[in-house]
Chain A
Amino acid sequence: MLKNYFLLAIRNLKRNKVFSAINILGLAMGLTCSLVIMLWVLDERKIDQFHENKDRLYSIFEKQMFDGKVQGGFGTPGPLARELKNILPEVEYSTSMGWDQKATFQVGDKVLRMPGNAADSDFFKMFTYPLLEGNVQSALSSPVSLAISHKMANAFFGSPQAAFGKTIRINDRKDLTVTAVYEDMPLNSTQQWDYIINWNDVWETESWVQQWDNNGPKTAILLRKNADPALVQAKIKHYMDQHLDKNGGWKVELYMQKFAERYLWSDIKEGVVSGGRIEYVRMFSLVAVFILLIACINFMNLTTARSIKRSREIGVRKVVGALRFGLIKQFLGEAVVVAGIAMVLALLLLFLALPFFNQLTEKHIEFPFNEWTFWASILGLVIVTGILSGSYPALFLSSFKPITVLKGVLKVSPSANWFRKGLVVFQFALSSLLIIGTIIVSRQVDFIQNKNLGFNRENIVKVSLLGEPQRYYELFKQQVGQIPGVTAVTRAEQDPMLIGNSTIGIDWEGKDPNAKPLFSQVAVGYDFTRTMQMKMVDGRDFSKAYGTDTAGFILNETAVKRTGYTNPVGKPFTFWGIKGSIIGVVKDFHFNSMHQPITPLVLHLRENATSGYALVRVQADKTKSVLSEMEEINKKINPKFPFTYDFADEDFKKSFARETMIGKFSNCFAGLAIVISCLGLLGLAMFAAEQRVREIGIRKVLGAGIGSLFTLLSREFLVLVFIAILIACPIAWWAMNNWLMDFKYRIDMNAWPFVIAGIAALAIALFTISFQTIKAALANPVKSLRSE
């Protein structure tokens, strides 16, 4: 029986090559799309899931309430991790972790910069990173311990065995001993570290992490096997009360989140986990289902349309004794066979598309050749798709009355027509939805990309000041400043586009003593606003010409507004206990993600800070020569560290990489959805033309012109597409409005994307059906009438 289905399916496909090509190609594209998204979603869901203790491994995050605001984040006080392990019997292990950062390592003459972090000695007992050398007890037990990846061990010593026990110098500051070599952290880990140093090293060098009222380090805990997470949560919630000044005007609550969930649920809004990438995972899962549905609907419509040609066969089969159930089985069988063929094609397409897709999403998804679950789901998908797409044709075709079809007049019932029209509307509504979404996403990404940030982010080279910049920065600035093509040099302790530090250690005249407003702060060098080409609203930049600038502060407009000063320049301002005054007001500029509003900001002068970046403004055409000269200068004055730089512009782009990726992603899928829908429409136009061959013939005999026939045949479809657009618009408006709400700075919703999408959908639809309708309109009426 199966062989019979297969044979018939193949013969039918061969007989109608164009039709079969449309049908299979449409389905294959839909399947490819769904498979790609399926692989992506599976990959996203696999991230950080490989830790054996993932069910007991938690991250701690804070909910902070102050100055009438609620916010939160994963930055916690430095002493928290150890304290939690000491006081809570439920906590088996705990660790603090610092910041993902690159460090410079040196062995002999070999100098390399590697990304890594710091962690407590419990780290390897909590996270699953198999050790090649060393053991979990001693891996990070002393302040000079160093755990390195297989890759780093190979880079310095040739093998993990050779690396074990050796000495490596870090940042030309301290000698460390390799106490463990771990297997390279897998690609589906959010931690991509080639080294881990002991947390004590951070504790000692950055003394601020020892205080309870500073936040920054991440805290992770591992609960004991039988511990009740709810109980632990209750215990830690108000734990911070005892460590914070009750009259300080702020309150902190602690919460736990499973470490394995952090990747997808990373957004904390007002102290509550509110989503993150999971929204995109869900969105694209939905898109995958949509596209598969569109493809299946196509298949249904095309097969049903083709059924007119097959109706006679059905009639004959019934007359010679086929039962309806048998016919349903036959058509479903054929549909499954076609779905199978489409799947083979889809797998081929998937294989070809994966590298491109990986590039787009910066993933490393491989074709899962040897995962049986993948093949099982492929099989499942074929059967489900086959049955889904074949069910309507099967039920519809098998319901034909033999004598009616054998007489040659097949009048399709109005209900069947409604059903098919409904499918077209549904299909085009989905497509319009995707088009509108795509337009809005790309406009928003465009908006951010071209938004005036309040400074000129182009042609700024950001040089990492490695080692001890307090010793060489002045010389560096002087020498770099003389390179032809360099127009200005300054420095900042943090990336000026990602200023994350903030403080409540501020005061001004007339401030409410109970209020504890949080001001962002960054230490900068002389000529900062000039180099960044920021606009001064009032006052002046930090300058060597004035000796008193260490007690002078530049505030942004938002900060000035918060202080309430009307003529701010010269007014007293206290920062970290330094009583000084405001020397300038800078126009608000964006120093954080576009998702965040601009907050009050204090710029303070620290020309001799011990870390940070030099910011060098260069002339666009001289970038290359400036870079090589800067490298030479670095070699002379800071020989132990490699010259490390970025372009501010590119860093900026990274800050909304997720949105850019989503934009590209949805472009692809919206395009595909439209193509697939059009294939379906093409099929339907063929169907309609076939249905009305006689009518068209008669009209032609009566003198109808091609134009009027074209209008007659097209009108019906255009009305359907129009209805689809009407349905899609409010849904799209609602969904995209929600998405835009996530951005503090966003485009205004207006009618244009909807109008453009509508016109595009109508035009594409018209173009598609015009082939068939013109063909039908041009056909010789004698032929069509004779066949009656």
Chain B
Amino acid sequence: MLSLKHISKWVNVGGKPNFLLKDVNLTINQGEFISIMGPSGSGKSTLLHIIGMLDDFNEGEYSFMDQPVHGLKEKQRSALYKQHIGFVFQAYHLIDELTVYENIETPLIYQNVKSSERKAMVADILDRFQIVGKKDLFPTQLSGGQQQLVGIARALIAKPQLLLADEPTGNLNSKQGEEIMDLFKQLNKEGVTIIQVTHSEKNAGYGSRIIHLLDGRIEQEQ
């Protein structure tokens, strides 16, 4: 599905490059459930952002679904990720001014989906996540677990093949966390490729493959 070859990213500190990622090689196939682990500052989030095309890299090649990402323009890149990738964040990042329904609908608006179709799609996912009753509430009126559920619903609404999650359970208690991980497992079974960043060994265990990062390098793969 995607492959990273010799990816490096650095920032210059006092004239010297400070590597965030160094020579990362990684291939991920359709249907995998990958967990990225590592201590703080090891480059987990940076790697996830690069995969999600939210961040640039300084060196190397990245091809996503046989398209060379490093050669694409901003607009094409945006078109590519909004079609194929969904994001889930630790802090949910829902838009406070929008209702649950509208939050979930937003990606579809940006993909120019027709109004009637949007309605049907949002209704489906609300139903599936059993949050129909919450659709007119604002994010601040929900618990953390419910907010993350909405976040995942929003990430999945456009039916992406790849779901990127940055510590999706980091702000949740263990019970809520478990529910989210079970949902991920379920989604993965349905064919969605998932890459998650996590600190938790237990959560990492849900995945089919674990990548350990240290100081910007892949230390070990399990």
Chain A residues with CB below 8 A from B107, complex form:
320-321
Q: Which of B58-66, B90-98, B182-190 contacts A (4 or more CB under 8 A)?
A: B90-98
Residues A313 and B95 in contact, CB atoms below 8 Å apart = yes
Chain A residues with CB below 8 A from B154, complex form:
320
Chain A residues with CB below 8 A from B72, complex form:
none
Report the interface size class on chain A: 20 to 34
Residues A15 and B110 in contact, CB atoms below 8 Å apart = no
Cβ 8 A contact of A320, one of B96, B97, B106:
B106
Given the interface contacts A12-B97, A406-B93, does A320 sit within 8 Å of B55 by beta carbon? no
Chain B residues with CB below 8 A from A408, complex form:
91
What's the minimum C-beta distance from B161 to chain A, rounded to whole angstroms? 15
Chain A residues with CB below 8 A from B101, complex form:
none
CA distance A406 to B95 in the complex (A): 12
- Cβ < 8 Å to B, chain A residues 316-352: 316-317, 319-323, 326
Cβ 8 A contact of B89, one of A11, A317, A406:
A406
What's the minimum C-beta distance from B6 to chain A, rounded to whole angstroms? 22
Residues A8 and B97 in contact, CB atoms below 8 Å apart = yes
Check: B111 CB closer than 8 A to any chain A CB. Answer: yes
Cβ 8 A contact of B75, one of A316, A323, A402:
A323
Residues B54 and A321 in contact, CB atoms below 8 Å apart = no
- Cβ < 8 Å to A, chain B residues 53-97: 54-55, 75, 78, 81-82, 87, 89, 91, 93-97
Q: Using CB atoms, name the residue of chain A closest to B151.
A: A316
CA distance A12 to B97 in the complex (A): 7
What's the minimum C-beta distance from B28 to chain A, rounded to whole angstroms? 20
Check: A73 CB closer than 8 A to any chain B CB. Answer: no
CA distance A312 to B52 in the complex (A): 18
Q: Mark B96-140 against chain A: 1 for CB-CB distance below 8 A, else 0.
A: 111000000011011100000000000000000000000000000
Residues B78 and A321 in contact, CB atoms below 8 Å apart = yes
What's the minimum C-beta distance from B105 to chain A, rounded to whole angstroms? 10
Given the interface contacts A321-B107, A406-B89, does A316 sit within 8 Å of B78 by beta carbon? no
Check: B212 CB closer than 8 A to any chain A CB. Answer: no
Chain B residues with CB below 8 A from A403, complex form:
49, 54-55
CA distance A408 to B98 in the complex (A): 20
CA distance A317 to B106 in the complex (A): 8
Check: A315 CB closer than 8 A to any chain B CB. Answer: yes
What's the minimum C-beta distance from A260 to chain B, rounded to whole angstroms? 55
Chain B residues with CB below 8 A from A326, complex form:
110
What's the minimum C-beta distance from B51 to chain A, rounded to whole angstroms? 12
Q: Using CB atoms, name the residue of chain A closest to B95.
A: A313
Residues A321 and B110 in contact, CB atoms below 8 Å apart = yes
Given the interface contacts A319-B87, A321-B110, A406-B89, does A313 sit within 8 Å of B96 by beta carbon? yes
Q: Using CB atoms, name the residue of chain B closest to A4.
A: B109
What's the minimum C-beta distance from A494 to chain B, rounded to whole angstroms? 73
Given the interface contacts A403-B49, A403-B54, does A313 sit within 8 Å of B110 by beta carbon? no
CA distance A451 to B93 in the complex (A): 70
Chain A residues with CB below 8 A from B75, complex form:
323
Residues B94 and A316 in contact, CB atoms below 8 Å apart = yes
Given the interface contacts A320-B154, A326-B110, A403-B54, does A15 sit within 8 Å of B97 by beta carbon? yes
CA distance A11 to B140 in the complex (A): 14
Chain B residues with CB below 8 A from A317, complex form:
95, 106, 110
What's the minimum C-beta distance from A329 to chain B, rounded to whole angstroms? 12
Interface size of B by CB at 8 A reads 24
- Cβ < 8 Å to B, chain A residues 1-22: 4, 8, 11-12, 15
Chain A residues with CB below 8 A from B94, complex form:
316
CA distance A118 to B75 in the complex (A): 78
Residues A316 and B97 in contact, CB atoms below 8 Å apart = no
CA distance A209 to B179 in the complex (A): 106
Chain B residues with CB below 8 A from A12, complex form:
97
Cβ 8 A contact of A319, one of B54, B98, B158:
B54
Q: Mark B170-197 against chain A: 1 for CB-CB distance below 8 A, else 0.
A: 0000000000000000000000000000
Given the interface contacts A403-B54, A403-B55, does A316 sit within 8 Å of B93 by beta carbon? yes
CA distance A322 to B111 in the complex (A): 9
Q: Using CB atoms, name the residue of chain B closest to A322.
A: B110
Residues B54 and A316 in contact, CB atoms below 8 Å apart = no
Given the interface contacts A320-B110, A321-B107, A322-B110, does A312 sit within 8 Å of B93 by beta carbon? yes
Chain B residues with CB below 8 A from A312, complex form:
93
Given the interface contacts A321-B110, A322-B110, A323-B78, does A316 sit within 8 Å of B95 by beta carbon? yes
Given the interface contacts A323-B75, A403-B55, does A315 sit within 8 Å of B110 by beta carbon? no
What's the minimum C-beta distance from A322 to chain B, rounded to whole angstroms? 5
Cβ 8 A contact of B97, one of A11, A315, A321:
A11
What's the minimum C-beta distance from B90 to chain A, rounded to whole angstroms? 10
Q: Which of A11, A315, A321, A326 has the most CB of B within 10 A?
A: A321
Chain A residues with CB below 8 A from B95, complex form:
313, 316-317
CA distance A433 to B92 in the complex (A): 50
Residues A320 and B54 in contact, CB atoms below 8 Å apart = no
What's the minimum C-beta distance from A406 to chain B, rounded to whole angstroms? 6
CA distance A317 to B95 in the complex (A): 8
Cβ 8 A contact of B111, one of A11, A321, A406:
A321
Q: Which of A15, A320, A403 has the most CB of B within 10 A?
A: A320
What's the minimum C-beta distance from A197 to chain B, rounded to whole angstroms? 73
What's the minimum C-beta distance from A326 to chain B, rounded to whole angstroms? 7
What's the minimum C-beta distance from A397 to chain B, rounded to whole angstroms? 14
CA distance A295 to B55 in the complex (A): 38
Chain B residues with CB below 8 A from A320, complex form:
82, 87, 106-107, 110, 154
What's the minimum C-beta distance from A7 to chain B, rounded to whole angstroms? 9
CA distance A319 to B106 in the complex (A): 11
Q: Using CB atoms, name the residue of chain A closest to B164.
A: A319
CA distance A4 to B115 in the complex (A): 13
Q: Using CB atoms, name the residue of chain A closest to B86.
A: A320
Chain A residues with CB below 8 A from B110, complex form:
317, 320-323, 326
What's the minimum C-beta distance from A319 to chain B, rounded to whole angstroms? 5
CA distance A312 to B94 in the complex (A): 9
CA distance A408 to B45 in the complex (A): 14
Q: Using CB atoms, name the residue of chain B closest to A14.
A: B97
Residues A315 and B93 in contact, CB atoms below 8 Å apart = yes
Chain A residues with CB below 8 A from B52, complex form:
319
What's the minimum C-beta distance from A313 to chain B, rounded to whole angstroms? 5
What's the minimum C-beta distance from B107 to chain A, rounded to whole angstroms? 4
Q: Using CB atoms, name the residue of chain A closest to B109.
A: A4
CA distance A560 to B208 in the complex (A): 114
Q: Which of A317, A319, A408 has the most CB of B within 10 A?
A: A319
Q: Mark A46-72 against chain B: 1 for CB-CB distance below 8 A, else 0.
A: 000000000000000000000000000
Chain A residues with CB below 8 A from B96, complex form:
15, 313
Given the interface contacts A319-B87, A320-B106, A321-B111, does A313 sit within 8 Å of B78 by beta carbon? no
Q: Mark A664-706 against chain B: 1 for CB-CB distance below 8 A, else 0.
A: 0000000000000000000000000000000000000000000
CA distance A8 to B154 in the complex (A): 19
CA distance A312 to B91 in the complex (A): 11
Q: Using CB atoms, name the residue of chain A closest to B79.
A: A321
CA distance A8 to B109 in the complex (A): 14
What's the minimum C-beta distance from A401 to chain B, rounded to whole angstroms? 8
Chain A residues with CB below 8 A from B89, complex form:
406
Chain B residues with CB below 8 A from A11, complex form:
97-98
Q: Using CB atoms, name the residue of chain A closest to B157.
A: A320
What's the minimum C-beta distance from A602 to chain B, rounded to whole angstroms? 81
What's the minimum C-beta distance from B210 to chain A, rounded to whole angstroms? 24
Q: List 8 A-B contacts (CB under 8 A).
A: A8-B97, A8-B98, A317-B110, A320-B110, A322-B110, A323-B78, A406-B91, A408-B91
- Across the A-B interface, give the 5 residue pairs with the lowest CB-CB distance, nearest first: A321-B82, A321-B110, A320-B107, A316-B93, A11-B97
Q: Could you list 6 further interchain pairs (A-B, Cβ under 8 angstroms) beyond the known A321-B107, A406-B89? A: A4-B109, A15-B96, A313-B95, A313-B96, A313-B97, A402-B54
